[in-house]
């Protein structure tokens, strides 16, 4: 049947009808909030390119944790800015490293708040790459042992999920073996499985101070042109033991989110990265976009593409809006 028997506008006529037939929903519990943690006391430094985001010292984390709990967010993802950087990023795996300290603070304040940790070297290395550099190149196999050490120290500090973001081959297996050998077989791995070499990480690199000091990340992160390769990356990570797989960035890669959703049965996360956040914030600040509607539409599109979990700097605001609307 076609017009006039079929009228798709019938089901759009009222908010009640629209709510009844809505296909995609977002809840606060599906959102994870990435945060930046730095050394010191009572420090709350704004990230210029990410309005509303701060680098917090660990003593300020209990307040944040309580607020995140109150908002009902799915959890936190922690990124650390170390006191010192060196060739092997040693603060990333020190028991008293910045992320380990942050996890303990948060868990002390709100024990049941889910905490994931970014398992990577780039914020901690003097050269800013995500691995161990040998002869001017990032050495894949030499890096694995370090990633395993980072994951172990984060789990020991109380992290509920470890999230490797380095894109080395074989790192999920290396981390899984190390965790299991340490009796931490219950700690899940959320792998940044299809992570692209993206220009949209720019503001994050300012926030975390991890711009590579030479070259770029294209020898380990994926080429934005590749779609089939993402399926291979995700398949390998699942085989190696990833419990949750992530696509990153989100918006320019919604086709990849959809592919991964349709190909695999595991939970899928998508990372709405710093550049995606900055675009909306900048346009909203200029009065060019309506912020709340743009953010909720963006998050809806990522969920509709097939993501179960969305990592987003908009998380606290979005949760508040969702709450106000209900």
**Residues lying near ligand PBG in the complex (CB under 6 A):** 118, 120, 122, 130, 165, 201, 204-205, 217, 273-274
User: Measured at CB, which residue is nearest to ligand PBG?
Assistant: 204
Active-site option among 85, 107, 195, 281: 195
Neighbours of 286 (CB within 10 A): 8
Of 170, 207, 267, 241, the closest CA to residue 78 belongs to 207
In whole angstroms, how close is the CB of 109 to ligand PBG at the nearest point? 24
Q: How far is the CB of 251 from ligand PBG (least distance, A)?
A: 12
> 124: buried, middle or exposed (CB in 10 Å: 19+, 13-18, 0-12)?
buried
Taking the least distance from each CB to ligand PBG, the nearer of 30 and 272 is 272
85, 107, 248, 281: the catalytic one is 248
Q: How far is the CB of 32 from ligand PBG (least distance, A)?
A: 12
| 248 has catalytic annotation | yes
Cβ distance to ligand PBG smaller for residue 134 or 218: 218
As measured in angstroms, the least distance from the Cβ of 310 to ligand PBG is 12
Minimal distance, residue 294 CB to ligand PBG, in Å: 18
Contact at 8 Å (CB) between 158 and 104?
yes
Tell me how far apart the terminal alpha carbons of the chain are, to the nearest angstrom. 36
Backbone torsions φ then ψ of 92, nearest 5 degrees: -65, -30
Nearest 5°: the CA angle 83, 106, 324 is 120
Nearer CB in complex with ligand PBG: 33/201: 201
As a dihedral over the C-alpha atoms of residue 142, residue 145, residue 148, residue 149, rounded to 10 degrees, the angle is -120
Please say which residue, 268 or 311, places its beta carbon nearer to ligand PBG: 311
Judged by CB, which is closer to ligand PBG: 65, or 130? 130
All residues at 6 or more sequence positions from 1 whose CB lies less than 8 Å from its CB, including other chains: none
94 in Cβ contact with 79 (< 8 Å) = no
161, 190 contact by CB (below 8 A) = yes
* Between 167 and 319, CB nearer to ligand PBG: 167
Q: How far is the CB of 87 from ligand PBG (least distance, A)?
A: 17
Tell me which residue of 237, 218, 232, 165 sits closest to 195, measured CA to CA: 165
CB of 225 to ligand PBG, least distance (A): 18
CA–CA separation, 317 vs 304, rounded Å? 20
Q: Which is nearer to ligand PBG, 130 or 189 (CB)?
A: 130
Q: Which of 169, 133, 129, 174 is nearest to 151 (CA)?
A: 174
C-alpha triplet 319, 321, 322: angle, nearest 5°: 65
What is the enclosing helix (H) or strand (E) of 248? strand 244-248
In total, the chain counts a number of residues equal to 326
What positions carry a catalytic annotation? 195, 248
């Amino acid at each position: 049947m076609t017009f006039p028997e079929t009228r798709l506008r019938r089901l759009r006529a009222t908010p009640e009808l629209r709510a009844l037939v809505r296909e995609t929903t977002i809840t606060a519990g599906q959102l994870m909030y990435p945060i930046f943690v730095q050394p010191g006391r009572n420090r709350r430094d704004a990230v210029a390119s990410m309005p509303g985001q701060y680098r917090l010292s660990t003593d300020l984390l209990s307040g944040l944790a309580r607020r995140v709990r109150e908002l009902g967010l799915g959890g936190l993802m922690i990124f650390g800015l170390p006191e010192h950087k060196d060739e092997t990023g040693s603060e990333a795996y020190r028991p008293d490293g910045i992320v380990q300290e942050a996890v303990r603070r948060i868990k002390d304040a709100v024990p049941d708040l889910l905490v994931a940790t970014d398992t990577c070297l780039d914020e901690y290395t003097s050269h800013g790459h995500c691995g161990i550099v040998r002869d001017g190149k990032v050495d894949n196999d030499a890096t694995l042992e370090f990633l395993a050490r980072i994951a172990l120290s984060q789990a020991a500090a109380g992290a509920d999920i470890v999230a490797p973001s380095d894109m080395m081959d074989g790192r999920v297996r290396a981390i899984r073996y190390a965790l299991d050998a340490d009796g931490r077989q219950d700690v899940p791995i959320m792998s940044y499985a299809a992570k692209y070499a993206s220009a949209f990480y720019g503001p994050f690199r300012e926030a975390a101070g991890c711009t590579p000091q030479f070259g770029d990340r294209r020898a380990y992160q994926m080429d934005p042109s590749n779609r089939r390769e993402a399926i291979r990356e995700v398949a390998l990570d699942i085989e190696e033991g990833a419990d949750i797989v992530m696509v990153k960035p989100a918006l320019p890669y919604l086709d990849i989110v959809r592919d991964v959703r349709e190909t695999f049965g595991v939970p899928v996360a998508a990372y709405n990265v710093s550049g995606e956040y900055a675009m909306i914030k900048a346009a909203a600040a200029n009065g060019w976009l309506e912020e709340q509607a743009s953010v909720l539409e963006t998050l809806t599109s990522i969920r509709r593409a097939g993501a179960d979990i969305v990592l987003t700097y908009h998380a606290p605001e979005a949760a508040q809006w969702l709450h106000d609307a209900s």
